[in-house]
Structure 1
Amino acid sequence: MTSTPGPPDRLGRRQSGRTPESYRLQPRRALVDDVYEAVKALVMDQVVAAGERMSIDGLARDLGVSPTPVREALTRLESEGLATKEALKGYRAAPLLTREEFDDLFAFRRLIEPWAAARAAERIDDVGRALLAEELGSASAPAGTSYDDYRRLTEHDQRFHSLVAELSGSPQARRALERTHGHLHIFRLHFERSTGHETLTEHAAVVEAIRSGDPAAAEAAMIHHLEAAMNERIRTIYDTDGPEG
């Protein structure tokens, strides 16, 4: 597998100019999780382009590992919707979200998450307040735009939204939200340095409203967060010759 540097594509996505070999793991017995994160980084950074074939043997050579952990990594990525598998053909990097898929994802989140935030505010106790404060304190804005830079923000985003859903008292809402893997698909689609600061500021507003036990404010803060992400930070790429759908 090879990759050559190039100018930003029509979506303005990250173009790191890095090759798969530059993601090679350190010479030691790589853990399965290490290989998984390395392969995920190739997909998230667009080093492996959407729709491009991912050879198990080729990735193993590039990363300096055996094929077995690569195969396990691709299976995990398939479960997250970041890879697709075709019978007798192997794996490919999943397509980026089309506009229709993007709108559908946010319509679902717009239904579930404001309700969950309001319910969390109604039910909040000292334990919940501590959990929210701890999660918010675990995050920081990334310095760059590669997956290695914003990986922790992605993980925080997943944990934060899952925690709010959990505090709503509805395991079904939490499971439904987690199954979308929306944080990965959104950050893969578009990420800028300013995104981190804006996301954390909006999370802080949601936390403040829930911790204060104000359901209306919590619902409003979550609506603002989702609509800012949808309308101001992401959807505009579809208005500038973005993915078809």
Structure 2
Amino acid sequence: MPVPERRGLVARSLLRDDAYRALRNAIVDGTLAPGERLNDAELVSWLGVSRTPIREALARLELSGLVQTRPGRFTMVSPVDSREARGAQSVVAAMHELAVREAVPLLGEPELDAMRAANARFRDALRENRVDDALAADDAFHAVAVDACANPVIRAVLEQHSPVLRRVERLRFSSLAGRASVAQHDTIIARCAEGDAEGASLAARANWQTLAPLLDAAPGLSHQQ
């Protein structure tokens, strides 16, 4: 078979994805603060990759609402805007509701045990005020249904819109209010174990809607009209 003329696609994709994840995580965890200017040369030095995957990663982050670009002027970390966060919350809640509804008929004991274990880690992390661990455990809990439903569209939409909410969730999981999620997760698990797709999916949606009060009250959020 002739060698394809286009080369290096896998390596370039990996570099782009690695750069995207590194920058996304730095924005979500506050390493790169809202309003901070992003300089290509500094990012190249920090991440150890060329300018091309950096620019591709920044373009993806702009689509997710985490970065703002003014061509020829600046690129910066977006402020945490309440209107954008509300829009992302609506989309993310709907996608998790759909993921659970589609996943329930496919869940077995291994998946239910994975949800229980993730929620136990989540509970312990909240008790010990380990915010990063709580976020990771929350991700693992919700990922069970997303993986089980095997719907690539749901995964793609969540990949785009979830990062905006992660900055708000860090505030929730740093407070006592976040501990209500443990009981909400237990309700989702119970409905899934009963095979109640409708009840489980509505419980999943309600769980994501608990972010709403923070979108109005959290410090650092801009409230555009």
Once residues 24 and 87 of structure 2 are traced to their aligned partners in structure 1, the CA distance between those partners, rounded to angstroms, is 27
Once residues 161 and 212 of structure 1 are traced to their aligned partners in structure 2, the CA distance between those partners, rounded to angstroms, is 18
Look up the match of 1:118: 101
CA shift for structure 1 position 165: 2.4
Look up the match of 2:189: 207
Taking structure 1 as the reference length, what is the TM-score of the superposition?
Answer: 0.61
Q: Name the CA shift for 1:237/1:77 in 2 (closer, same or farther; >3 Å).
A: farther
Partner AA of 2:97 in structure 1: P
Look up the match of 1:198: 180
Look up the match of 2:215: 235
Look up the match of 1:160: 141
Look up the match of 2:88: 105
Cα pair 2:81 2:221 within 8 Å, conserved: no
Once residues 179 and 105 of structure 1 are traced to their aligned partners in structure 2, the CA distance between those partners, rounded to angstroms, is 9
Q: Which runs of 5+ in 1 are unaligned?
A: 1-32
Q: Name the CA shift for 1:193/1:176 in 2 (closer, same or farther; >3 Å).
A: same
- Cα displacement string for residues 105-155 of structure 1 (whole angstroms, at most 9, x for unaligned residues): 2222343322322332233223322332343344333444xxxx4222223
Partner AA of 2:131 in structure 1: Y
RMSD of Structure 2 on Structure 1 (CA)? 3.8
Q: Which runs of 5+ in 2 are unaligned?
A: 1-17
Helix, strand or coil for the counterpart of 1:50? coil
Matching residue within 125, 128, 133 for 1:141: 125
Helix, strand or coil for the counterpart of 2:210? helix
Once residues 136 and 225 of structure 1 are traced to their aligned partners in structure 2, the CA distance between those partners, rounded to angstroms, is 13
Helix, strand or coil for the counterpart of 1:51? coil
Q: Which has the higher contact order (CA 8 A, sep 6+)?
A: 2
Cα pair 1:121 1:212 within 8 Å, conserved: no
Return the structure number with greater helix share: 2
Q: Percent identity?
A: 16
Taking structure 2 as the reference length, what is the TM-score of the superposition?
Answer: 0.66
Cα pair 2:80 2:222 within 8 Å, conserved: no
Q: Name the CA shift for 1:67/1:222 in 2 (closer, same or farther; >3 Å).
A: closer
Partner AA of 2:86 in structure 1: D
Look up the match of 1:28: none
Alignment length (residue pairs): 200
Cα pair 1:118 1:218 within 8 Å, conserved: yes
Correspondence 1:150 to 2:131: yes
